[in-house]
Structure 1
Amino acid sequence: MTTAARTPSSLYPELDATALGAFVTALESGDVTGLAPARAAEIAELRSVAAFTRGKVTGADGDLLDAALWRHLGTRPRPVIVMPSPWTGLGWLAYAVQATLFAARGYDVLAYSARGFAGSEGRVDVAGPLDVADGSRALDHLIERSTGPVTRIGFLGDSYGSGIAQLVAAHDTRVDAVVALSTWGDLGEAFYENSTRHVAAVRALLGAASKARLSPQTQSVFDNVLSGGDVRGTLRWAEVRSPFTHIKELNRRQVPVFFAHAWHETLFPPNQTLRMFNELTGPKRIVLSVGDHSGPEMSGILGLPNRIWTDAHRWFDHHLMGVDNGIDTEDQVLSEVMWSKTLEPRPTWPSVTEHVQRLHLADDGELGDEPRTGWTSTVLCGMDTPATVADRIVESGYAEIAGRPKVYPTDDIDRTVAAVWTADPVAETLRLRGTPRLRVTYRAANPGSAFVAYLLDTAPDGSAHIVTHAPFTDLGSPPDSLISADIELQATAYDVPRGHRLTLVVDARDPFYADANLPRATLDFTSPESTPSYLDLPLG
């Protein structure tokens, strides 16, 4: 396995089990010795109004789920929040600080470890029917133990818990609002983007669940994604576990949903979540940020100031408590621009893009304004290039958040194993806003073929940063046939500085994805007169 596909041992590298354990112990005992002043103050505030207990929730099939309860002692009516755990061996412990903050604001809160993780019985069902039933059972448990009437109900999850939260809301009519952080809308698209298997993402999930107890079906599905077996069966499995499949139920009840996502998300790429967001008809909001999976909201999980969690609190305060805090009047979309980190509100996702600029792929390696047809650019398969999605899943996103994005040496890209097209230097800052689209035609000598397209921002010295990318795989075309690929690159909000150039790189191998090409095969990229090859840039 190459560096770029290195499997992380955790999807949450900054979470400190020892520190979170000490926080929970202090919640139980009241002894805050050794804790930071801010954490000690949070515990004191919580203990003055509510009680904290650990326990078990009886889930589907009688499996006992590890859980924690933050419960107020008064009998007045109040809203409640259920928090299914992320994909981590820490289980509900990951939410200890945030659940405490919600409880201090007046909510009863129950956080639980998803089946198969941490201290919960059962086997990992990957947001399947058992997990949905567990969510409803957890809500039953919380309602039964609330000392007063329950007014309104929210489900909140990060990553794995966010998918479960959406699915429970679609199936359980008691749920009034959802917060889904680093989530998915279409799990099949996340695993098979443009028919390309996301093998590094599945390896990362398996690595992070090394101590979890996977169901035989879950293990079989993950093995199939890695090996390429039973694609149709895996897509049927994923369909049930995709909130997008159940969107009619969310829309019928107009369930308010708050999303937060990262532009360079490597587990659940943003386009499939944006498709889910765009189809929702109830109150909705999405925050898109620099980084990778769960990175933008991580400081809030740790209890530090975080704008995403601030908005999550405001979302529930308005939709569950009825607080007139203005979040219902704010724009639906809030984008953090790479690399300035400017926050740009827009009323809807389509309004992010004001117009589209088309650049045509030419035979001399240029991206130009006029179609240039009849040329051929040959790429040798089986060889990696410096153009890759990232060095490491999740961790590369933390470097981006810290202002240290990966640098791509474009001069080192071998033009025999990659096709490269470069635009003229931009005269003024180029504001990319939305979803770029690539149409390209190629000839493959073999029945299976694949490529990955990268859009780079290249400085005058040849160093570059990645703007966005997308893979493409074709498994059905006859040998030596022309294949037309018309694909969306992942959505972006990126400012290309004056004097920089946009560079499009297409190569045949990236360790993040399964490689459908035969070693030493070739892909001949071209631009027929009937279907010229081009790149559409969304501008704002």
Structure 2
Amino acid sequence: MNPAAPDAPHSLYPELDATALTAFATALESGDTAGLPPARAAEVRAARAAATFSRGKVAGTGGDLLDAALWRHTGPGPRPAVVLPSPWTGLGWTAYAVQATALAARGYDVLAYTVRGFGRSDGHADFAGPLDVADGRRALEHLLERAAGPVTRIGFLGVSYGAGIGLLVAAHDPRVDAVAALGAWGDLGEVLYENSTRRAAAVQVLLASAGRARLSPETERTLEDVLADRGAEGALRWAQQRSPSAHVKEFNRRRVAVFLSHAWHETVFPANQTLGLFGELTGPKRLDLSVGDHCGPESAGLLGLPSPVWTDAHRWLDHHLCGTANGVEGEAEVLAEVMWSRALEPSADLPAPGGNVRRLYLTGGGGLAGAGGIAGAGRLAPEPEHGWTAGVLCGVDTPAAVADAVVRSGYAELAGRPKPYPGDEIGSATAASVTAAWCGAPAGETLRVRGVPRLRVTYRAANSGSTFVAYLLDLAPDGSARLITHAPFSDLTSPPDSLISADIDLQATAYDVPRGHRLLLVAAARDPFYGDANLPRATLAFTSPEPVPSYLEVPVG
């Protein structure tokens, strides 16, 4: 385990008000709304007038009972139905109390349930494995058996863990017509290992935020194996079975209507693996991308506050389950929120529709101090340069860290306070032994970075087993910087003193670099977010061989 990893929150959803959600659920059952805010009280009264609310148990797989709540319309007419598996939290289905009530008021029969191993449900958490998929299907059967009239079309909706389960149930159950998955993963293997690099802080967060949940022995062992740097092949096999991306053919064959939402600076489920799933879907699909971190953009909606993501999710289900002519079918498939203007950009493709790729070569030092650059940094230049070397010392923390606090850093971004980086410290000559940096020319006009930046770089590792993290930053004239995107890379097989070629995708982004600002590329051998394969005090020497020059490709919208 990495002792210097960023702080692990006790919840993946730190902004959720458990007291308020519990009070809302209690009012749904009793009808007493005296203690609720006026808006929430009105929602309870409207839902109770339209549907019958009850709490009970769903008979899950193997006889395990799952805590659940049912919003059931009593009229005999046909209507659609939605099932909501709970997030990774001891709140269980209560996290959905407000949103499930809103769906019931819109005419849906609704079942929200607490997934196995959490809250008041029996069993052990299977991390969206076969037991969870079977539970989801049983929850749907529970709802269908209690519907007063015919059920027309069926959807699943979930946040985070519940989103992943919803996608997997939709892939396995032909009765499911649409799914809204907010903050889901696509490839769980890439959640555990990104470019062969252990995502240690993300795994620590999953374990820490499970709280009092009862994890299955296989789940607990797999997550602990990742932290202990053992059994990678077994962990990836475990993850494959739990990855919606492994079932793309089934989604496409049945044309399941899939709505996804995600955050650009997601630390728990990195964006590219979810975008990869989205790109492979050929049926009806929609993707909302927002500023922030894991489920930050969705948390406000769980509390009943205005949320564009939840509005789009409701519209998606209304259209595909109710046939509502709300214009969804004519809208762009991708709606991206731009950092940091928060402007919304619709597009037909992902990434960089109608754009181009700008290639910038990594070159030697350019003496940029005093001109808004960084003394001792290399340059990002239009032509390659060979024969230079930039050394990086392993085992040392640097100012270039992905996040100070997993999940919580994203809430600062949502509030308009992205983490400031000391650009002059990251890439200056005084830091040359622990980072390597390359600085671009000042932007003559706003540089609209849209999509997946790609890095090709060659380095020599003194030891077998090496890791580095690449950061792309926006460097302001005053020397401060903001993170645009990043990615790790590990080589675990090359012999000592080998030249290693790294071709990596940085995480996708939508970022406007203002006029006069510079792109700053930084490489460091250690980031507390990741488990690295380096030996302490070893060195990585970055270079650019003539046959294969090192370069950064920036997608420009």
TM-score bracket, normalised by the shorter chain, equals: over 0.9
Paired position in structure 2 for 1:401: 414
**Post-superposition offset of 1:68:** 0.6
Secondary structure at the aligned position of 2:364 is classed as coil
Secondary structure at the aligned position of 1:250 is classed as helix
Q: Does 1:10 align with 2:11?
A: yes
Paired position in structure 1 for 2:239: 238
2:31 touches 2:45 (CA, 8 Å); kept in 1?
yes
1:178 touches 1:258 (CA, 8 Å); kept in 2?
yes
| Partner Cα separation in structure 1 for residue 282 and residue 356 of structure 2 | 25
Paired position in structure 2 for 1:385: 398
Secondary structure at the aligned position of 1:265 is classed as coil
Secondary structure at the aligned position of 1:379 is classed as strand
**Post-superposition offset of 1:2:** 6.5
Secondary structure at the aligned position of 1:5 is classed as coil
| Partner Cα separation in structure 2 for residue 29 and residue 94 of structure 1 | 18
CA distances 1:32-86 after superposition (whole Å, capped 9, x unpaired): 1121111011011101111111110011111000111111111111000000010
Q: Does 1:507 align with 2:524?
A: yes
Listed as ranges, the matches of 1:383-462 within 5 Å are 383-413=396-426, 414-462=431-479
Paired position in structure 1 for 2:103: 102
| Partner Cα separation in structure 2 for residue 523 and residue 537 of structure 1 | 24
1:451 touches 1:509 (CA, 8 Å); kept in 2?
yes
**Post-superposition offset of 1:374:** 1.6
Secondary structure at the aligned position of 1:318 is classed as helix
CA distances 1:179-200 after superposition (whole Å, capped 9, x unpaired): 0110111000121110001010
Q: Does 1:191 align with 2:183?
A: no
Q: Which amino acid aligns with 1:160?
A: Y
Listed as ranges, the matches of 1:43-82 within 5 Å are 43-82=44-83
Secondary structure at the aligned position of 1:310 is classed as helix
Paired position in structure 2 for 1:209: 210
Q: Does 1:370 align with 2:383?
A: yes
**Post-superposition offset of 1:210:** 2.2
Secondary structure at the aligned position of 2:277 is classed as helix
1:387 touches 1:454 (CA, 8 Å); kept in 2?
yes
Secondary structure at the aligned position of 1:259 is classed as strand
| Partner Cα separation in structure 2 for residue 232 and residue 295 of structure 1 | 32
| Partner Cα separation in structure 2 for residue 509 and residue 279 of structure 1 | 33
2:394 touches 2:526 (CA, 8 Å); kept in 1?
yes
1:443 touches 1:483 (CA, 8 Å); kept in 2?
yes
| Partner Cα separation in structure 1 for residue 89 and residue 475 of structure 2 | 37
| Partner Cα separation in structure 2 for residue 233 and residue 350 of structure 1 | 32
1:448 touches 1:476 (CA, 8 Å); kept in 2?
yes
1:353 touches 1:433 (CA, 8 Å); kept in 2?
no
Which TM-score applies when normalising by structure 2? 0.96
Q: Which amino acid aligns with 1:194?
A: N
Q: Does 1:304 align with 2:286?
A: no
Q: Which amino acid aligns with 1:178?
A: V
Secondary structure at the aligned position of 2:360 is classed as strand
Cα pair distance change 1:233/1:132, threshold 3 Å: same
1:184 touches 1:242 (CA, 8 Å); kept in 2?
yes
| Partner Cα separation in structure 2 for residue 295 and residue 521 of structure 1 | 38
CA distances 1:375-403 after superposition (whole Å, capped 9, x unpaired): 11000000010001011111000000100
**Post-superposition offset of 1:510:** 0.5
**Post-superposition offset of 1:11:** 0.6
| Partner Cα separation in structure 2 for residue 496 and residue 205 of structure 1 | 33
| Partner Cα separation in structure 1 for residue 421 and residue 15 of structure 2 | 26
| Partner Cα separation in structure 1 for residue 479 and residue 433 of structure 2 | 18
| Partner Cα separation in structure 1 for residue 205 and residue 336 of structure 2 | 27
| Partner Cα separation in structure 1 for residue 131 and residue 503 of structure 2 | 38
**Post-superposition offset of 1:358:** 0.5
**Post-superposition offset of 1:461:** 0.8
Paired position in structure 2 for 1:318: 319
**Post-superposition offset of 1:348:** 1.5
Cα pair distance change 1:17/1:350, threshold 3 Å: closer
**Post-superposition offset of 1:4:** 5.5
